[in-house]
Amino acid sequence: MKTLAVFSGKGGTGKTTLVACFAELAGRVVAVDCDVDAANLRLLLPGVDVDREPFLSGRKASIDQDGCLGCGACAEACRFDAIVQCEGTWTVDSMACEGCGVCSIVCPAPDVIRYQDNLAGHWMRRRSGSILLVHAALGVAQDNSGKLVAKVRQEAAAWADHEGVPLVLVDGPPGIGCPVHAAMGQLDRMLVVTEPTPSGLHDLERMLRLAQHFGVSCCVVVNKWDLAPSFTRNIEDSCRTWRVPIAGRIPFDPAVPRLLAKGLLPLQEPAGRETSNAIIVCWSRFSTGPCEIPDLPEEVSWAGGSA
Amino acid sequence: MAERIAITVSELTDLSAPMDPRFGRAAGFLVVQDGEVLTVSKNSAVLASHGAGTGAASLMQELGVGKVISGAFGPKASSALTEMGITMLLAPAGLTAAEALERAGRGELQVQALRVIR
Amino acid sequence: MIVSFASGKGGTGKTMLATNLAAVLSARLTTTYVDADVEEPNGHLFLRHDEARLERAAVSLPKLEGVCTGCGACQKACAFHAILALKDRVMAFPELCHSCGACCMVCPEQALVERPFEIGSLVHARLGALRLVSGRLDVGQARATPLVEAVVRAGVRGHEDEMILVDSPPGTSCAAMAAVRHADLVVLVTEPTPFGLNDLRLAVEMCRAMERRIVAVVNRADLGDGEVLHYLEREGIPMLGQVPFERSIATAYARGELATTRSGALRAVLDAILAHIELVALDGSLP
């Protein structure tokens, strides 16, 4: 079983649309939406969720008012300003509470501060034609620590194994933090989607540095390339410097957003022929073509590293 | 005018007092100028309900201090002292105020150049 | 007054709007632009300042500075599995640590001390009259939220009576919330696509959970459908304007230029935001 992932660092580059197209082209695949904060892949892979499971992560403190001595030691010790005084009673602000336990360590009364498991979100399984999808939704104000990302990755791998599906396709979260680290583990290869803008280049290079750090083989595709052809060349030059292959260039196509609104993928009309061909070529190169671990020496300065 | 230096102490006596490794919750401060103790202050910020760091930093500003020597500075203190332009010096454990002051004079104490955010 | 630009979905044009507004506003009022998207800070690509003062930022991480008896009290006390007790020493995991101090408090030998662990930088700069504060998480570091909080604090502190524009990270979890938490006004930037609508709903939920005042702007307004507009109307969220997809904006963006001089539609939306800011400033009870 192989695991392929698509990242972009920057949002809005067209990553999720590409993942949906790749899933369609692959046929037998378990797709997994690791952007648990703003999960969109399910909008392009319609179907009914066959499973919906609660995701518990961390805990929240609560103060038993009957036993509380009103000393306020908990509020003083709390580093997250999560204990407030409301009309004389000390209460926990559960949005701010991180469940660290310090309040109960300092509380002089026994068993007054208690903890409840925190329902952080849900994860789901869905069948969309021959495509299997694992996705999740993190609740509002929840810590996106990567735990839910790790969970959906794990469930996707287990489902693929169980159904004898040879491919897991990961829709990666934006950024370079915890959720991305959790999505980047145990990958065969990854594609970074970028756009020909300074932010596109800046964020691409931060992703490549992270991939270098994790030792993951990459290739890069420039989406909406014809909006700035000379900048596209800058991006491709940068990829050469990082020794990362280019998996293609996809043109900007104003028909695409309208297609997506209708629930269609840009692999068919009214998307331009050029658009759908470029996506097909990109999938072919990404899934079977050359990919390399980014290799930029530590000393060399790069767009994403300067202040 | 020579700079005033504050040192966190766990006993409110004189330069022979042991240093308090904390800043926000230090028992008190010695304020020194030209090697002489100007004031011995109790740390009133200890009474604060949420993080004594900012209160203690305000105290430093009130006392007209340019440098503070302590064992560690928490996020609120660190942020506030940086904004106030007060230099933070880190002293290893177990020194008296006098020993810390001496080491500071010889430039042996590490300056906290980092902004501690949590 | 703090105005935060948020979106739920990434790539809707938050940075484009926030930087352009900062440029326009700084001509009239003392303004600070805060780039709180610490994982991918892009504001500096449009507000190109000269020198910047860099400050390294650190979180507190427990360090063994005494004698460890291997009792494991620290490991037991840690709610995040961030510290491991070995026979005569401990291992702290910075990517898991929340800097709560529990382990140091429970160590019977008082052997654990919190020491700074660098996770990124704060950048302070100026571009003419405009003050710029941004944060940059080191590549490889896991936790963005503490740095987002620190950047916003650094931007606001001492300038509470001035105009502060906060460019938030995407998403609706705690990193984005840290950038929106104290805003007097949140401008949600969206696009008229199913993705835009989905993430707009989440962003609205987030803002309402924190009781923030919300307005919306629709970007690339001609590339999609009318669902987003219907949603905003149903929810009673003022829609301050639509910016159509204009190649001139995209090209200016690609060149790292501010697009205000090139697009009448963009200028109109910025004026609408400014007018709303003035209303909010005059009448704090506006919805």
Residues 6+ apart with CB under 8 A from A158: none
pLDDT of residue B49: 55
Q: Is C168 on the interface with A (CB under 8 A)?
A: no
Q: Is the pLDDT of residue A268 over 80?
A: yes
A270 upstream amide cis, omega within 30 of 0: yes
What's the count of helices (H) and strands (E) in chain A, helices before strands? 9, 11
* pLDDT band (50, 70, 90) for residue C203: very high
Q: Is the pLDDT of residue A307 over 50?
A: no
**Cβ distance of C60 and B75 shorter than 8 Å:** yes
Dihedral over Cα of C269, C275, C278, C282: its sign: negative
Q: Is C63 on the interface with B (CB under 8 A)?
A: no
pLDDT digits (tens, 9 = 90+) for A191-215: 999 999 989 999 999 999 999 989 9
Q: Is the pLDDT of residue A107 over 50?
A: yes
pLDDT digits (tens, 9 = 90+) for A68-94: 999 989 998 899 989 999 888 999 999
**Cβ distance of A76 and B118 shorter than 8 Å:** no
pLDDT of residue C35: 97
pLDDT of residue A36: 93
Q: Which of A67-76, B56-65, B104-113, C30-39 has the highest mean pLDDT?
A: C30-39
Query: Cα(B26)–Cα(C123) distance, rounded to whole angstroms?
Result: 31
Pick from A14-23, A52-61, A210-219, B71-80: least confident: B71-80
* A82's tokens: 């999560």
pLDDT of residue B80: 83
**Cβ distance of A174 and C39 shorter than 8 Å:** yes
Q: Is B82 on the interface with C (CB under 8 A)?
A: yes
Contacts of C113 in chain B (CB under 8 A): 21, 71-72
The closest CB to that of A140, out of C169, C206, C223, belongs to C206
Q: B73 to chain C, minimum CA–CA distance in Å?
A: 9
* A168's tokens: 């897991």
- Residue A104's SS3 state is helix
Contacts of B53 in chain C (CB under 8 A): none
Q: C206 to chain B, minimum CA–CA distance in Å?
A: 24
Query: Cα(A89)–Cα(A74) distance, rounded to whole angstroms?
Result: 12
Q: Which of C60, C114, C121 to mutate to test the interface with B (most CBs of B within 10 A)?
A: C60
Closest to A296 (Cα-Cα) out of A224, A218, A232: A218
Contacts of C172 in chain A (CB under 8 A): 37-38, 138, 140
Residues 6+ apart with CB under 8 A from A242: A205, A208, A212, A294, A295, A296
Mean pLDDT across chain C: 91
> Contact at 8 Å (CB) between A127 and A47?
yes
Query: Cα(C267)–Cα(A291) distance, rounded to whole angstroms?
Result: 44
Mean pLDDT over A168-175 rounds to 96
Closest to C47 (Cα-Cα) out of C30, C56, C35: C35
- Residue A180's SS3 state is helix
The closest CB to that of C195, out of A16, A206, A231, belongs to A16
Q: Is the pLDDT of residue B1 over 80?
A: no
pLDDT of residue A288: 95
Mean pLDDT over B41-55 rounds to 77
Beta strands A29-33 and A167-171, pairing class: parallel
**Cβ distance of A227 and C254 shorter than 8 Å:** yes
* pLDDT band (50, 70, 90) for residue A123: very high
**Farthest-apart Cα atoms in chain B, separation:** 37
Strand partners, C58: B116, C118
Mean pLDDT over A50-73 rounds to 94
Residue type, C229: L
Contacts of A145 in chain C (CB under 8 A): 143
Contacts of C55 in chain B (CB under 8 A): 82, 113-115
Contacts of A177 in chain C (CB under 8 A): 39, 137, 141-144, 175
Kindly list the partner chains of chain A, i.e. chains with 3 or more CB atom pairs below 8 Å. B, C
* C169's tokens: 């990270």
> Contact at 8 Å (CB) between C98 and C29?
no
**Cβ distance of B50 and A72 shorter than 8 Å:** no
Residue type, B68: V
Integer angstrom CA distances of residue A216 from A6, C71, C228, C255: 12, 39, 38, 31
Beta strands A131-138 and A113-128, pairing class: antiparallel
Give residues 20 to 49 of B whose Cβ lies within 8 Å of A.
48-49
* pLDDT band (50, 70, 90) for residue C284: low
Closest to C192 (Cα-Cα) out of A10, A254, A238, B110: A254
Contacts of A79 in chain B (CB under 8 A): 51, 118
Mean pLDDT over A14-35 rounds to 96
* pLDDT band (50, 70, 90) for residue C34: very high
**Cβ distance of B49 and A75 shorter than 8 Å:** yes
Mean pLDDT over A17-45 rounds to 95
pLDDT of residue C287: 47
Q: A182 to chain B, minimum CA–CA distance in Å?
A: 23
Query: Cα(B25)–Cα(C179) distance, rounded to whole angstroms?
Result: 29
Q: Is the pLDDT of residue B76 over 60?
A: yes
pLDDT digits (tens, 9 = 90+) for A174-186: 999 999 999 998 9
**Residue pointed to by tokens 């931007």:** C155
Neighbours of C127 (CB within 10 A): 18
ipTM of the complex: 0.88
**Cβ distance of C251 and A59 shorter than 8 Å:** no
Mean pLDDT across chain A: 93
Burial C17-47 (b: 16+ CB within 10 A, else e): bbbbbbbbbbeeeebbbbbbbbbbbbbbbbb
Q: Is the pLDDT of residue B48 over 70?
A: no
pLDDT of residue C17: 93
> Contact at 8 Å (CB) between C139 and A304?
yes
Pick from A73-82, A228-237, A293-302, C139-148: least confident: A293-302
Q: What torsion do the CA atoms of C85, C91, C95, C101 make, to the nearest 10 degrees?
A: 60
Q: A251 to chain C, minimum CA–CA distance in Å?
A: 14
* A85's tokens: 């005084």
Helix pair angle (C194-209, C227-235), 10° resolution: 20
**Cβ distance of A100 and C98 shorter than 8 Å:** yes
pLDDT of residue C54: 92
> Contact at 8 Å (CB) between A25 and A283?
yes
